[in-house]
Amino acid sequence: MITVETFRGKSITEHRIEIVERKGTGHPDYMCDSIMEAISIALSKEYMKEFGTILHYNIDKGLLAAGRVKSGFGGGRVLKPMELTIGDRATFSAAGKKIPVDDIAVAAARRWIKDNMRFVDPERHVKYRVVLAPGSEELTDIFMRPGKVRPANDTSAAIGYYPLSITERAVFDLEKYLNSEGFKNKFPETGEDIKVMGRREGNEVDMTVAMPFLAHCIKSEKEYFERKRAVHRDMTGFLGGFTEFKKTSVHFNTLDHEGRGLGGVYLSLLGTSAEDADSGQVGRGNRVNGLISTNRPMGTEAAAGKNPVSHVGKIYNVLSHKIAKEIYEKTEGVKEVYVLLLSRIGTPVDTPQTAAAQVLLEKGRNVNEIAKTAEEILGKGLSGINRFCMELSRGKYPVC
């Protein structure tokens, strides 16, 4: 049964205080999520090639343990590599064929690191520990049962929303800009480990940004602060393009302290704090829309690495945002849309216990005017879930 009702809360733009966070490419949590999702995509591809279907796996338990480096102005060296632990469950053989799961997982992890981290050597700077094992008989049996749609392997709830607020867009776009090819060409001394925390009060926004400078590019404390001022000016200029804000402020690497030498600057040898300062874990990073928005309702499932055809913790998280966007774009008089999906373990993933759209309407509109359209869009999203799941398995939709 599909439900369409009026959202009774205020629009996100009407909140006086709004707080939004994004963790960028080189953040240890983002790295964990992205690497496990890359392994998921690689395994799905191998299962499809060998068996014409995606078999049981969940690669959603991952830990990137920080290494150790010695660095200073002008460079440094790696003393101890980072260690990536890859878990949880996978299918190692079926129909008399063996699948080199461990090799596939490590190769996918190395490929992601090579493609996304300029100064991390996936061979020398990272150790890999694979702790994948076969799944339980009951969960594995899900993939052997008849029917075109897989049963849900968990009882799980998810919520998605649309549109993004201007604060959410500013936080998301700023991190994307700072990790873009153009910015890195302009400021090659900056690393990929970026965290942006945005705070809006009324129509004024305050951004706190953390981003390391690469040790081999910075020869002295004086040069560090000179380059920091140049980067700060550039960030301020970028945010000036968001004219919806009356005032924008940027605070950059606020732990820095001039005159304290290496103790007062944010230097990195490899571009990520996972080299020696901070470990990462799946599920601690961005939600599937790329943000951590504290004013919004959020699910607790980690989507990265989960099975794309049976694990509703992944399927419903991504699908709820997709459906919310479609309802907003195709329905007149709607300010915001929230979509809630709830599964029951063992029930086909296209038949949730709850499928609901909560709509915040413009003044003068009635929910009955848009209910039919919203219901049709939600129903169509669920009926087309097989195609959606296959797109998810190929990495069409980002999960962090």
CB-count burial class (<10 Å; 0-12, 13-18, 19+) for 241: exposed
Tokens of 298: 């959020």
Cross-strand bridge partners of residue 294: none
Q: d(Cα 301, Cα 230) in Å, to the nearest integer?
A: 39
Handedness of CA 334, 338, 344, 349 (dihedral sign): positive
What count of Cα atoms within 13 Å lies in the side-chain half-sphere of residue 381?
27
Positions of the chain with pLDDT under 70: 136-147
- Residue 147: its pLDDT value, please? 65
Domain boundaries, the chain: 12-24+165-276
Report DSSP letters for 23-47, one per residue.
E-TTSHHHHHHHHHHHHHHHHHHHH
Angle at which helices 385-393 and 367-383 cross, to 10°: 60
- Residue 145: its pLDDT value, please? 67
- Residue 1: its pLDDT value, please? 78
Residues 188-240 pLDDT 10s? 999 999 999 999 999 999 999 999 999 999 999 999 999 999 999 999 999 99
pTM of the model: 0.95
Tokens of 266: 């944010």
Q: Does domain 12-24+165-276 have CATH number 3.30.300.340?
A: yes
Whether 38 and 87 have beta carbons less than 8 Å apart is answered as no
**What's phi and psi for 6, nearest 5 deg?**
-80, 135
Distances (CA, A) of 89 to 60, 112, 307: 9, 21, 10
- Residue 131: its pLDDT value, please? 96
- Residue 297: its pLDDT value, please? 93
- Residue 300: its pLDDT value, please? 82
- Residue 366: its pLDDT value, please? 87
Residues 332-389 pLDDT 10s? 999 999 999 999 999 999 999 999 999 999 988 889 889 999 999 999 999 999 999 9
